[in-house]
Amino acid sequence: MVAGGRGARFGGPKQFERLEGRRVVDWALAASRSVAAGVVLVVPADHLGDEAPAADVVVAGGATRSASVRAGLAAVPVDAGVIVVHDAARPFARPALFEAVVAAVRAGADGAVPGVPVTDTIKRVVAGQVVATLDRDELVAVQTPQAFAAAALRRAHAEAPEATDDAALVEAAGGRVVVVAGDPANAKITRRADLG
């Protein structure tokens, strides 16, 4: 569970904000706990002493998302076969979504991500000018949880690369990543209005 961000766009660490009586991170941990044999929580160093009863291990994150994932990976037992990476900023993920990505990896994929269809027209822009209109039928908006064969994820992180999600790193390392049906309700909290 990646909860190491500073929440720059939110105006503070959103993962520790209250949502219907619980912290955002606690909602995300509960969903993870429902399908995981163990949960590693990655937090900012100044939150290491916070309560996290649904986590088995709590570690300090790094300066970037990828560095935080690597900190969490270091705490995952070496005999783990499937590793799920989930962002604490997605507290609405249901257990069925975790189960779906894990099942896809167990079926042979190196990685599995939930994706929802893109409904807006998407344009690629360079220096303020449209250079292409993309075919939205070939696009999905990707969410977490993302599941990976443990060896594939560890290999993808071996050289300490950076990306906005772990699937991009596994893809770049030659892994096969599949998409399962995402959940439109699995929204990411980015701005205060998202706490709604």
For 87-107, how does the pLDDT look when each residue is reduced to its tens digit (9 = 90+)?
Answer: 999 999 999 999 999 999 999
Q: Which residues lie below 8 Å from residue 166, measured CB to CB, with a gap of 6+?
A: 66, 69, 85, 111, 146, 148, 153, 156, 157
Domain count, the chain: 1
At residue 10 the predicted structure's pLDDT band, cuts being 50, 70 and 90, is low
Is 97 part of any domain? yes
164-171: which pairs have CB atoms within 8 A and are 24 or more residues apart? 164/65, 165/65, 165/113, 166/66, 166/69, 166/85, 166/111, 167/111, 167/113, 167/142, 169/66, 170/110, 170/111, 171/111
88 and 28 in contact (C-beta within 8 Å)? yes
What number is the average pLDDT over the span 74-93?
Answer: 96
Is 23 part of any domain? yes
Is 179 part of any domain? yes
Domain span at 176: 14-113+142-195
Is 127 part of any domain? no
Is 100 part of any domain? yes
Q: Looking at the whole model, is its pTM more than 0.95?
A: no
At residue 16 the predicted structure's pLDDT band, cuts being 50, 70 and 90, is confident
Flag whether pLDDT at 9 surpasses 90: no
At residue 190 the predicted structure's pLDDT band, cuts being 50, 70 and 90, is confident
CATH number, position 90: 3.90.550.10
CA atoms within 13 A on the CB side of 147: 26
Is 132 part of any domain? no
Query: Among 23-27, 82-86, 127-131, which stretch is predicted with the lowest mean pLDDT?
Result: 23-27
What number is the average pLDDT over the span 115-129?
Answer: 96
Flag whether pLDDT at 5 surpasses 70: yes
Residue 174 is classified by DSSP as T
Is 34 part of any domain? yes
Is 7 part of any domain? no
